[in-house]
Amino acid sequence: QSALTQPPSASGSPGQSVTISCTGTSSDVGVHNYVSWYQQYPGKAPKLMIYEVSKRPSGVPDRFSGSKSGNTASLTVSGLQAEDEADYYCSSYAGRHTYVFGTGTQVTVL
């Protein structure tokens, strides 16, 4: 149950795209298509942005997209906006009703 690996930080100018990676193992990301992404502002509760690798909940802008290749999942934020500045966490189902989160990435809009 080791945490999934994310880069500590990522940044981009308004209008640009930023992609965050999330690397796991063949026991979690690599074998299950249950990867989710959460956005969290300081002092606030996390918010679901992507589930099942690439699906968006109602109300989440289509600027947010997800993908997966092998043991690595990715979140791309296109057309970066000031309000996208937040912490982002990936999560994967790890079998036997257990889950593992990523180490988190702080996104800065320059």
Partner 1 sequence: EVQLVESGGDLVQPGGSLRLSCAASGFTFSGYMMAWVRLAPGKGLEWVANIKNDGSEAYYVDSMKGRFSISRDNAKNSLYLQMNSLRAEDTAVYYCARDNNYKVDIWGQGTLVTVSS
Q: How far is CA 43 from CA 15, 46, 54, in A?
A: 26, 9, 27
Of the candidates 23, 5, 20, 1, which has an alpha carbon nearest to the alpha carbon of residue 77? 20
Per CB under 8 A, which region of 11-19, 33-41, 66-74, 76-84 contacts partner 1? 33-41
β-bridge partners, 4: 102
Return the number of the residue (13 or 43) whose C-beta is nearest partner 1: 43
Q: Does 97 bind partner 1 (CB under 8 A)?
A: yes
**What residues from 40 to 79 belong to the interface with partner 1 (CB under 8 A)?**
40, 44-48, 51-52, 57
Q: Does 24 bind partner 1 (CB under 8 A)?
A: no
Minimum CB separation of residue 19 from partner 1 in Å reads 19
Q: Are the C-beta atoms of 7 and 20 separated by less than 8 Å? A: yes
